[in-house]
Amino acid sequence: MKKIIYTIVLLVIAVTLGCKSNDSNLSIRVKDTETEYTYNAVYPVSKTDELEKYIARELKNELPMDQNIDTKVSLLKGEEFRMKATEGALQIQLDKRNSSITGFIKLKKFTDGISAVLGSK
């Protein structure tokens, strides 16, 4: 009986440590319709600093990714996109009806850069 309990305890500890140390979970979903462009990323928290630096460099605006962010960000000539972020999660939404093709292309390049940052080792 003691061996079974000992085995179960070790198994629980191993699973718990394995789940916490897995720092490679990355999920990126892009939805591009006629009226909206949505970019969702769930990424390892260890990538937050790199992502923060990339966003600051590209947008010329420092956003503290370790806090809950829910803001509108100016793109070009008054065009805006919505950005929601916390450590480990990022969502970007662009309403294409209120945006030019140039603004959409710029945002697409920006999100491609985010994917590259999050996908790098």
Q: What is the pLDDT of residues 41-90, one digit of tens each?
A: 999 999 999 999 999 898 887 878 778 888 898 876 778 999 999 989 99
pLDDT score at 34: 94
- 104: pLDDT confidence band, cut at 50, 70 and 90? very high
Total Cβ atoms within 10 A of residue 25: 11
Report CA Rg, the chain: 19
Q: Is the separation of the CB atoms in 101 and 108 below 8 Å?
A: no
Which segments of the chain are extended strands (E)? 27-32, 36-42, 69-74, 80-86, 89-95
Look at residue 6 and tell me whether its pLDDT is greater than 50: yes
Of residues 5 and 72, more confidently modeled: 72
Assigned fold of 24-119? Gyrase A; domain 2 (3.30.1360)
Residue 21, pLDDT score: 47
Q: Are strands 80-86 and 69-74 parallel, antiparallel or unpaired?
A: antiparallel
Token look-up 């962010």 returns 69
Question: Which residues are 80's β-sheet partners?
Answer: 74
- Read off the pLDDT of each residue in 86-95 and give the average, rounded to a whole number: 94
* Residues near 95 by beta carbon (within 8 Å), at least 6 away in sequence: 35, 36
Reference 26, options 52, 44, 49, 38; nearest CA is: 44
Helix (H, G, I), strand (E, B) or coil at 82: strand
